[in-house]
Structure 1
Amino acid sequence: MAATQVIRSEWTKIRSVASTVWTLSLAVVVTVALGMLISALTKNQFGDMPTRERLSFDPTFVSFAGMTLGQLALVVFGVLVVSNEYSTGMIRTSLAAVPRRGAFLAGKVAVATGLALVVGMATSFAAFFLGQAMLGPLRTTLGEPGVLRAVIGGGLYMALIAMFSMGVAVMLRSPMLSLGILMPFFFLISNILGNVSATRKAGQFLPDQAGSRIMQVVPRVGDGTPYGPWGGLGIMVLWVIAALIGGYALLRKRDA
């Protein structure tokens, strides 16, 4: 099957599954709504913040406060794109139609990543503009140094979260197992490891901890992170590549 036919086939699969459409919609709503809420609360409480927090105040990053929950919807999207075929048995038909497993995986990842990137960019810009509206006099603009990079980075971050989840789902095949590992990891474990002093140095190299640096414009006072915004995104890209390589290696060896 030609590459264009593989891509067209994968697009049809994604478009026809309602759950994938709902998860992307949820990612937009949760990220934007929570970002607006946190931005409004921050504006009202800014005067009561400690001096240290006011010196580190980052209006751009505040508007992305909803990303913590919004990224979970991208995790679900990435897992469902892959594991739906395993849970329904469609994977046998798909691999019979596209025997070259590398082409099969590449087509699926390309289509899903493209969709996640479009949704991620739209979400990132919407979260920024609406969050800044809530911040009022504390707001910033796209013309300020580093702000446009952070907003574009937010869209890239969401797409990379989906790609990483796809790689893990290919390795594990089971939607329940994949979500049972990824959801607690991104929602709890990573945050704990990244904020506890004993594990902070290791935690800052986890995919979400490193990748989220791209959305920050103002560094926190006393921040000792050994990489910058693009360096953090680069670390996340390495995690994504490792997950996809692991998924491809297992896909080649295993039966459908």
Structure 2
Amino acid sequence: MKHVIHAEWTKFRTVRGWVVGMVVAIPLTVLIGLLGPAGDSFHCAGPNGQKCAGQSPPTGPDGTPVFDSFYLVHRTLTGDGAITARVAPLTGAEPWAKAGLIVKQSTRAGSAYAAVMTTGGHGVRMQYDYTEDIAGPVNARWLRLSRKGNTLTGAVSADRGHWTTVGTAQLDLGSRVEAGMFVSSPQHVERTQSFGDITEDGYPTSATTTFDEVTTDGEWRTGWHGTAVGGASEVVTTGMTEQDGRFRITGHGDITPIVAAGLGRNVENALVGVFAGLIAVLVVATLFATSEHRRGLIRTSFAANPRRGQLLAAKAIVIGGVSFVVGVVSAALSIPLVAELEVAKGFFLFPTSTGTEIRVIVGTGLLFAVAAVLAVAAGSLLRRGAGTVTAMTVGLVLPYLLAVASVLPAGPADLLTSVTPAAGFAIQQTLREYPQVSASYTPADGYFPLSQAGGFAVLCAYAVLATVLATFALRRRDA
């Protein structure tokens, strides 16, 4: 097998056009990626490269960008303690409007917290540190949030007699925390889509509810006072009134991780040019398989090695290995170069760990490699360069472009990126989907319907199937 691979490698490197095509794929990927931020009219950098005021959102304890804006009625708790209250239903509010009890490390936006709450349309929840969400009963009148050491426990009751634990969280908040009652109400967003264009219209909302029969246990300091965490709203009125132990609180804002890609740039934005580089790779891979058939040279190859399946495997190994290197280099150059340009223009960059960037870079290499193997197999089946390139573009690249360019509605876009080879682009995905956040989770927003591994598995399945069929066809056909 080694001598067959060496022979195929020799064929590849001695054809200048194939080598040039692979090399061109690298700057093509990078340049298309740079066109996005370079052509964007947005610019928000100061004279020394500083971001504009308010451009970067607060970040949670794990570095996740977050919304952290609500109205808080609180006291200082030192050590262990608990707060219990009855909460009136949130009627007519946004589905993810929240009213409940919270223990927060401080009133600084982005600080660690745990909360148990009722919502406008999603029942009772316990949420903590922005990313974690535990569902409880649909309805409950009484809420309790207790702290013992680093353990925070949320519980609910219908009659204050029988309590049901919703969830627990292990958080090191320090000895002194702010705890009490809160209300929030997120922006109302209506999303409309027309061909090639997605628009969002929205308006700020507020929610109001009443807390009564409020009791506290433990070492509490100071009296109750109100704070608009994240800053007071300029468009809606928030605050609280107290009478005879009844707290009427109006809040605005949200306490969630940020998922809307439009609020910043992420790794996927830097790799928007991958489709262009991939087309170049597919053309070279196709010609690598079809040129010998077109010129009749395949007879010489079969005479030298009658094991036709082995010959196809050698072609796949060579072109797959070269394509992997091209994909890795393309992604490794695109990510920092595009990010540098985005920072220069004042965009907020979603934080990405080094490990995630390495996974995406290697994943891009695997995407190129498996796509090239698919093209070689398809070329061996069809034996026509133009037809194979067209089939590969229509089956792999076009569905991806239609999905991410918002040309198609969400349903068809999800379907195309689930059942076609374009599902393989999911291997580049870095954004996390949160069930407790209502947002547009579509390929156009950076969210593929399949996981990274699932989408890549679909592409691999196409490559395996095509290779099996091509092997069978080579053995059945004359040269």
The TM tier, using the shorter chain, reads 0.7 to 0.9
CA distance 1:43–1:246, shift in 2 (3 Å): farther
1:123-159 per-residue CA deviation (whole Å, 9 max, x = no partner) reads 1111112111111153467635633222221111111
Amino acid aligned to 2:440: G
Partner of 1:231: 454
Bigger Cα Rg: 2
Of 406, 416, 420, which aligns to 1:203?
A: 416
Partner of 1:108: 315
Of 363, 381, 384, which aligns to 1:153?
A: 363
CA distance 1:148–1:44, shift in 2 (3 Å): farther
Percent of paired sites with the same residue: 25
Contact 1:42 1:135 (8 Å CA) reproduced? no
- Tell me the secondary structure at the aligned position of residue 469 of structure 2: helix
Rounded to whole Å, the distance in 2 between the matches of 1:44 and 1:160 is: 37
Partner of 2:167: none
Whether 2:295 is the aligned partner of 1:82: answer no
Q: TM-score, normalised by structure 2?
A: 0.48
- Tell me the secondary structure at the aligned position of residue 31 of structure 1: helix
Q: How does 1:36-115 map to 2 (within 5 A)?
A: 36-41=34-39, 44=42, 52-55=260-263, 57-115=264-322
Rounded to whole Å, the distance in 2 between the matches of 1:161 and 1:43 is: 34
Rounded to whole Å, the distance in 1 between the matches of 2:35 and 2:414 is: 31
Contact 2:395 2:422 (8 Å CA) reproduced? no
Contact 2:381 2:473 (8 Å CA) reproduced? yes
Amino acid aligned to 2:262: R
Rounded to whole Å, the distance in 2 between the matches of 1:144 and 1:7 is: 34
Report the alpha carbon displacement of residue 27 of structure 1 after superposing the two structures with TM. 0.9
CA distance 1:140–1:18, shift in 2 (3 Å): farther
Whether 2:471 is the aligned partner of 1:248: answer yes
Contact 2:267 2:430 (8 Å CA) reproduced? yes
Contact 1:85 1:91 (8 Å CA) reproduced? yes
Partner of 1:22: 20
Q: How does 1:139-150 map to 2 (within 5 A)?
A: 139=349, 143=353, 146-150=356-360
Q: TM-score, normalised by structure 1?
A: 0.87
Of 374, 378, 389, which aligns to 1:179?
A: 389
Report the alpha carbon displacement of residue 203 of structure 1 after superposing the two structures with TM. 0.7
Whether 2:352 is the aligned partner of 1:129: answer no
Contact 2:281 2:372 (8 Å CA) reproduced? yes
Rounded to whole Å, the distance in 2 between the matches of 1:187 and 1:234 is: 17
Whether 2:378 is the aligned partner of 1:168: answer yes
Contact 1:63 1:127 (8 Å CA) reproduced? yes
CA distance 1:72–1:238, shift in 2 (3 Å): same
CA distance 1:65–1:208, shift in 2 (3 Å): farther
Contact 1:133 1:139 (8 Å CA) reproduced? no
Of 214, 220, 244, which aligns to 2:427?
A: 214
Amino acid aligned to 1:243: A
Rounded to whole Å, the distance in 2 between the matches of 1:193 and 1:35 is: 17
1:73-121 per-residue CA deviation (whole Å, 9 max, x = no partner) reads 0110110110111111110000010001111111111111111111211
Partner of 1:31: 29
Over the residues paired in the alignment, what is the CA RMSD in angstroms? 2.6
| Structure 2 alignment gaps of length 5 or more | 45-54, 56-198, 203-259, 434-438, 443-447
CA distance 1:141–1:122, shift in 2 (3 Å): farther
Report the alpha carbon displacement of residue 39 of structure 1 after superposing the two structures with TM. 3.4
Report the alpha carbon displacement of residue 193 of structure 1 after superposing the two structures with TM. 6.8
Contact 2:399 2:422 (8 Å CA) reproduced? no
Contact 1:120 1:158 (8 Å CA) reproduced? yes
* Structure with a larger share of its residues in strand: 2
* Deviation larger for 62-71 or 134-143: 134-143
* Structure with a larger share of its residues in helix: 1
1:8-43 per-residue CA deviation (whole Å, 9 max, x = no partner) reads 110110011122112112211110111122133458
| Structure 1 alignment gaps of length 5 or more | none
Report the alpha carbon displacement of residue 186 of structure 1 after superposing the two structures with TM. 3.7
- Tell me the secondary structure at the aligned position of residue 227 of structure 1: coil
Contact 1:39 1:132 (8 Å CA) reproduced? no
CA distance 1:206–1:82, shift in 2 (3 Å): same
